[in-house]
Structure 1
Amino acid sequence: MDIVSKWTDLLEAGIIKTNNGVIVELNAAARAMGFEEGKVVRIPKSRILKTEIGECEALIYGEHIILKPIDTFSQMKQFLIDAIAHEILTPITSIGGLLYLVKEGIDVEKNIEKIENHLGKIARIVDELLLLSKVEMGNYVPRSRRVELRGVIQEILKLYADRVERKKLEVKVKARGMMKTDPEALGIIVRNIISNAIKYTDPGGKVTISASNKRIVVEDTGVGIPPKELPFIFQRFFRASNVRDRGGSGLGLAIAKHLAEVLGFEIAIDSRLGVGTRVELKM
């Protein structure tokens, strides 16, 4: 049943109260629209807001708010299916084209290597989802050993060599020393950070990676993150509004954040819209 009421109080940034006592917490996307008292904001029905009655779709017109309770589980499940399907379908489509070239005898060795890379990407997506599930259920136990940082970074960069070459990016690495940690978890964290830097840096841009035994820093000259959206960047499925045309599931940084906490790391992001982003992973 839809609830129609007037909102009466702006309790704090993004939190409003209606005249029938319902507390409404605007989601990241709604907050990013600059919602404030006295301002007319139209929120499409696809926006999900958290209220005392559960997750809702909403329309806000000036002082009036219309709330429509939804089946959150079904919606989030569908979002996950759509996002993961897209992430997996892309390499599968590429594999189909590459197999045709192999059958025709065109650059066989090179194209087989590309197929192996795409299959590896699919396997990594599945592995990361399974690992995230373990972490969230408290079933993941880190296995620490000494990890050579330059080797970890170089192996990750091999995965994105084609994209770096295609975009003509300048990638600089300054890494030294060892770090005692879980190599699998560290690899996933750093891979997601580097992947984002490469994905969201425009052609001709620069990505700089530095690492020591206490911290790893990845800096890029990419598109940056809108300031109002930065606090929500580690949330599951969150995609910054200025990069939603570039693909992705919105899970990478959520996974990185969860794993960092398990390993005892701090992960922080500093970003300037149109200038670039700096991500620091610190013990």
Structure 2
Amino acid sequence: MKLQRPDLVHPVRDGREHSLRILRFFTSRMTLALRVAVLTTAAVAATLTLVSATIYVTVRSEFQSSLDDSMVRRAQAGVTADLGSLFAGGADPGALALTDIKVIVLRSGRGVLLGTPAVSNFPIQFIGLPEREVSLGQTTQSIRTAMLKDTPYRVVAVRSGRGEALVMAQSMESIDMALKRLQIILLLTSAIGVALAGLAGWAVAANGLRPVRRLTAATERVARTADLTPITVTGTDELARLTTSFNAMLTALDASQTRERQLIADAGHELRTPLTSLRTNIELMGQATGQGGRSLTEEERAEIMGDVRAQLEELTTLVGDLVELARDEPVRRNPEPLDLADVVTLAVSRVRLRALEVDFVAHTEPWMVVGEAQLLERAVTNLLDNAAKWSPPGGTVRVTLTDGTLTVADEGPGIEPADLPHIFDRFYRSQEARTLPGSGLGLSIVKRSAERHGGTAEVSSTLGKGTTFTLTMPAAPTI
């Protein structure tokens, strides 16, 4: 088994992770506008680099292709004009140097046609294997680039006869100079384009992110001053939608704080009455048992203790109702399939024990729901207690559960039409209900319980004939 050094197991991956850490270090210290400008500049730089490289390669290829075609045509024209015979007859090939073209006739791959001294000055670098293969008849023509004193030459060889090849060489210095000028132009153009792209990217980012900066300032203002005033929305783009959503969040937060303040104020008001009464009774008992005070009779003591117990029960109920209403989460503690008819039957049995002067007539049909039995039982119990409280002695409360709809109808005096829209509000109590015990939270808990289970709670009433509460619950999904 071959062992590996721990520091050489994944050098590529380690290097990539190191580069990513460096990139995250620098980008984390950039503003969003600067990041947008940098990314824009990098994208434009990459595009211009690709375009410039494409242009340069295309132009160089076109130059070389044009030169090759031109030299091949001239070489073929020289073969047609039988330059080899002219050289053998004493013509001076050095005269072609005036046109920056060097010409030689290569025979059988071994030498040149010597006729004049100029021919012997033909550089040996221009005679290589490709040209010898053409003279030997192995190929019809060859094209290549050869260097002479740091100057590139394009060398073309074509067959000029049996065992002969006409070789031409032309300097590419003018083409190289043109390509160098093109390089400079492309570099300058790319640099100017990248600079303009960076400036444009910064300007666009700074202008486009103005709503984001406004949102940032608004959030900082909210965190600093707790001022939930919505900010102005401009435009219809994604940032405008973000601003609208932020304003909706501020509105919801303001409403939540308003409800919280109202709940605290109402709770304080409702708690003040039983606490004041408890303090009064306790002070009265303390004065009666103190030195020099008159003693209480057993009847008076029992009356005060009964009053204290009633106030403690009212206070306990009020605190429990407040805790229940303070929960805003949906039912997810212990939801389970259960029969709503069992919940209603149990609630009726419990309320009958403490409402002996009222007759309860219940008719229930099975109805499976998914929810929390304790919360549903409390909602039903609140409805029954409310009906018992308003029913006259000897009255009847009719409880019916059919197809998931629970109705609780009493024979009380009914509810004023002006009070009906507010009957499920927290701490709301009608003028007639203020003289009766209660916290004004029972029906709020009924509505909250129905909403948490996906149901509804409604009320209808006729003055002098009674009130009917309707609680509708969705059925449990069938498997």
TM-score, normalised on structure 1?
0.56
Shift of residue 125, structure 1, vs aligned partner: 4.9
Shift of residue 82, structure 1, vs aligned partner: 3.0
Evaluate the alpha carbon distance shift between residue 218 and residue 275 of structure 1 in structure 2; reply closer, same or farther with a 3 A threshold.
same
Q: Please give the root-mean-square deviation of Cα atoms over the aligned residues, in Å.
A: 3.6
Shift of residue 264, structure 1, vs aligned partner: 0.7
Given the alignment of the two structures, is residue 222 of structure 1 paired with residue 412 of structure 2, yes or no?
yes
Supply the distance in 1 between the matched residues of 2:365 and 2:312 (Cα, whole angstroms): 31
Look up the equivalent residue of 1:220 and give its one-letter code. Answer: D
In the alignment, what sits opposite 1:255? 445
Q: 2:322 aligns with which of 129, 146, 157?
A: 129
Supply the distance in 2 between the matched residues of 1:231 and 1:225 (Cα, whole angstroms): 10
TM-score, normalised on structure 2?
0.35
Supply the distance in 2 between the matched residues of 1:228 and 1:206 (Cα, whole angstroms): 25
State percent identity of aligned pairs. Answer: 28
Counterparts of 1:138-217 in structure 2, within 5 Å, are: 138=329, 141=332, 143-165=334-356, 167=357, 169-180=358-369, 181-217=371-407
| Structure 1 alignment gaps of length 5 or more | 1-54, 56-70, 94-99, 101-117
Shift of residue 76, structure 1, vs aligned partner: 2.7
Shift of residue 197, structure 1, vs aligned partner: 0.3
Structure showing the higher helix proportion among its residues? 2
Supply the distance in 1 between the matched residues of 2:342 and 2:316 (Cα, whole angstroms): 21
Match of 2:451, SS state, is helix
Structure 1 window deviating more from structure 2 (182-191 vs 156-165): it is 156-165
Look up the equivalent residue of 1:282 and give its one-letter code. Answer: T
Supply the distance in 1 between the matched residues of 2:448 and 2:263 (Cα, whole angstroms): 21
Deviations 1:102-155 (A, max 9, x none): xxxxxxxxxxxxxxxx999876654433221112xx375353323233432232
Count of residues paired in the alignment: 188
Supply the distance in 2 between the matched residues of 1:226 and 1:189 (Cα, whole angstroms): 23
Evaluate the alpha carbon distance shift between residue 217 and residue 73 of structure 1 in structure 2; reply closer, same or farther with a 3 A threshold.
closer
Deviations 1:64-110 (A, max 9, x none): xxxxxxx9687434213136659x97xxx9xxxxxx9xxxxxxxxxx
In the alignment, what sits opposite 2:432? 242
Match of 1:228, SS state, is coil
In the alignment, what sits opposite 2:270? 80
Shift of residue 170, structure 1, vs aligned partner: 2.0
| Structure 2 alignment gaps of length 5 or more | 1-257, 283-297, 299-310, 474-479
Counterparts of 1:99-138 in structure 2, within 5 Å, are: 125-135=318-328, 138=329
Structure showing the higher strand proportion among its residues? 1
